[in-house]
Amino acid sequence: MKIRKTLIENMISIDKEAISDAKKTALISFLIGTAIFLAFVFFNFEFIAYIGIIFVLLATLVNGIKLLLLIYRLIKANKNDRIEITKTILLILANIPIALVYLKIAGSLFKDRFGF
């Protein structure tokens, strides 16, 4: 019985770690993306746009993996954990419209500044 209790405690701990990790990843992605966007807007260097594109691709991959893992955990979670997992999923998904707005503005600026 003690082994079963320990396994359950470990699973709960892993879920909390996964949620915390996903929140940190979403926040860091937002902060780095915003920094790259602002650097491009204010400093007007073409290479910053390319760094931004690479970052968006990498952040999409990393956040996408985190999102899939959270969805899996949401399916397996008990009722109490579902709210916290859902909030974390929404936090990750909130980065999508922000990134799209940044890409739209940066694309317009890139076209105007560099003639592409």
Alpha carbon 75 to chain centroid distance?
20
For the stretch 22-71, pLDDT in tens is: 999 999 999 999 999 999 999 988 899 999 999 999 999 999 999 999 99
Reported as half-sphere exposure (CB side, CA atoms, 13 A), residue 73 has a value of 26
Average pLDDT estimate for 66-88: 92
pLDDT of residue 80: 84
Domain spans in the chain, listed from the N-terminal domain onward: 2-114
Host H or E run for residue 115: none
Mean pLDDT over all residues of the chain?
A: 88
Q: What is the pTM of this model?
A: 0.82
Task: Judge whether 81 and 15 are in contact, CB under 8 Å.
Answer: yes
pLDDT over 80 (residue 20) = yes
